[in-house]
Amino acid sequence: MAPSFIRLDDVWLRFRLYSTQHRSIKETVVNFILRRQYGAPTRDITALRGITLAIDDGQRLGIVGDNGAGKSSMLKVISRIYPPTSGRVTRSGFLVPLLEIGIGFNGELSGLENIYLTGAIMGFSRREMRRRVDPILDFAELREFADTPIKYYSSGMQQRLAFSVATEIDPEILLLDEVFSVGDIHWMEKARDRMRRLMDRARILVLVSHQMDLIEQYCNRAIWMRAGEIAADGAPGDVIRAYRDSAAAVAPVAARTD
Amino acid sequence: MHPIQRIRELWQFREVIKNLVAQELKVKYRRSILGFFWSLLNPLLQLVVISLVFSLIFRMQNFSLYVLSGVVPWSFFASSIDGCSMSLVSSEAMLRRQYFPKAVFPISFVLQNLVTFAMSLIVLLTILGPIANLRLTPALLFLPVSFACIVAVTLGLGALAALVTAHFRDMRHLISVLLSAWFYLTPIIYPLETPDGQGMIPHEYRWYFKLNPMFAVIELFHRPIYHGVLPTNAELLTAGAVSIVFLVGGLLVFWRSEDRLIFAL
């Protein structure tokens, strides 16, 4: 099997944040006619500023940094969910991103049907998913609800299902965001175990976390992100120390905006 | 990305389209075996009302067959575009979790609606055919071409509707108003000209009606079903050109802004 890799070459990411959730054509037209600009003030965010980074087969990369420093944006650019504004992202290897455990399910459909749909999005046919259905339902402890529409699931049940589907497939590249956290205590033990095994099997792991011990335990390389740039890159112990020292010295820096 | 790459990528993700189509159909018809018959009831009632009211005005032979052959394809067109317009917005959570080509949503919506459309046209023609004096001519075999054309136009415009609604949520209302205006501007519940060359529309204005791209597409259904003849070469060429322009144009515009769409959702 060809070795997996991720390359980022001078990657910039800019996007616009709308302060009201959604724009409407009515508002836009009225504002244009009256030549005014209120209602929806916007902010242009520069989330990544010229990131150049190579992650090779066998590396377990931890990303640390303050909120808004660009950690999650980095994962989204690597997984192609966000297109870079400029620069190049190249990679090789089957990738599974576990970023937002949001409820990306169709509520009208049963748990079973949602398993097939999620599998298809990851690139697996119905036939390939069929043998994975039983382990997924068993692990999620949702066998008796397999045919129940998702909208009748509790949020905990939905999370369990999402987690179980996403972790049933062995990726070569695993992207993991801390946001992807899980339910009650009994479940957490089980989930942590499964996650650990998944991380061990992946050829490349990129892990975003605020838990420094987690990064020190799992990673053999770390970077510290500050305001969209890589502030430090090296052994996890050193990078974490640098990050901690800076946090002690100054108040946390918020995301820079232009 | 090059359009060829986009197409290749869509092919790679065909399982997603298959899943979405199968599941939408399941949801639509799960509630009861009557599900499908309910979906027939709407065009059927529409047909009855329109036929009753307008046959008094137009005094046209087999008026209900004329209406049927236009209203059914039009409702496929209009309901697909309405559905497409919400298809990206309502799938936001999925799009934020993993990368996949966003065109799968308009495509799968149009495809699953096509199944309903084809079935209702067949069933309505079977039920109403004898009553409405449907002539079984070889021209009916032309219908698959008519379907291909209307699917192409619908897909192109559906992709645009999805794109526009992702940027401006309230476009959905505007789209449905535009669609109903478009419906009345297209000769569906009235004839552009009756076989004797008469009709409600004065001669000098008929030309404008023929500029409407949907006129050409709907004629592809009127000809074989109502008139029992093949479309003329000119009609076929116009409809073919309209289909290609809408399909290619719609998809190219969609693909141009597809990648940055995630920031608008």
Query: Residue B8 has what pLDDT?
Result: 92
Query: Residue A226 has what pLDDT?
Result: 92
The tens digit of pLDDT for each residue in B21-54 reads 988 888 777 666 666 777 777 777 877 888 878 7
Using DSSP bridges, classify how beta strands A86-92 and A229-234 pair: parallel, antiparallel or unpaired.
Answer: unpaired
Q: Which of B99, B169, B170 lies at the smallest CB-CB distance from A81? A: B99
Residue of A nearest to B104 (CA): A121
Query: Residue A136 has what pLDDT?
Result: 93
Q: Give the torsion through C-alpha atoms of A3, A4, A10, A12, to 10 deg.
A: 170
Query: Residue A184 has what pLDDT?
Result: 65
Query: Residue B41 has what pLDDT?
Result: 78
- Residues 206-265 of chain B whose Cβ lies under 8 A from any Cβ of chain A: 259-260, 262-263
CA A149 to chain centre: 26
Query: Residue A38 has what pLDDT?
Result: 57
> Which residues in chain B have Cβ-Cβ distances shorter than 8 Å to A102?
93, 96-97
What is the value of ipTM here, to two decimals?
0.80
The tens digit of pLDDT for each residue in B153-209 reads 999 999 999 999 988 888 888 999 999 999 999 988 888 876 666 666 777 788 788
- Residues 21-40 of chain B whose Cβ lies under 8 A from any Cβ of chain A: 23, 26-27
β-bridge partners, B77:
none
Q: Which of A25, A31, A151 is the best mutation test for B, with the most CBs of B within 10 A?
A: A25
Q: Which of A15, A100, A105 lies at the smallest CB-CB distance from B96? A: A100
Burial A56-83 (b: 16+ CB within 10 A, else e): ebebbbbbbbbebbbbbbbbbbbbbbbb
The answer to whether the Cβ–Cβ distance between B20 and A117 falls below 8 Å is yes
Task: Name the residue with tokens 């993991």.
Answer: A176
| Residues in chain A, pLDDT under 50 | 255-258
Higher pLDDT, B118 or A22: B118
The tens digit of pLDDT for each residue in B54-74 reads 777 777 778 888 888 999 999
The answer to whether the Cβ–Cβ distance between B97 and A108 falls below 8 Å is no
The domains found in chain A, sorted by start residue, are 5-93+208-249 (3.40.50.300), 111-202 (3.40.50.300)
B115, with CB counted inside 10 A (0-12, 13-18, 19+), is middle
Average pLDDT of chain A, as a whole number? 84
How far the first Cα of chain B sits from its last, in Å, is: 21
Query: Residue A258 has what pLDDT?
Result: 47
> Is A232 within 8 Å of A238 (Cβ atoms)?
yes
Distance CA A118, CA B226 (A): 45
Within 8 A by CB and 6+ apart from B80, the residues are B109, B110, B113, B154, B158
Query: Residue B33 has what pLDDT?
Result: 64
Average pLDDT of chain B, as a whole number? 87
Q: Which of A79, A117, A152 is the best mutation test for B, with the most CBs of B within 10 A?
A: A117
User: At B116, is the pLDDT very low, low, confident or very high (cuts 50, 70, 90)?
Assistant: confident
Using DSSP bridges, classify how beta strands A5-18 and A86-92 pair: parallel, antiparallel or unpaired.
Answer: antiparallel
The answer to whether the Cβ–Cβ distance between B23 and A106 falls below 8 Å is yes
Distance CA A70, CA A49 (A): 9
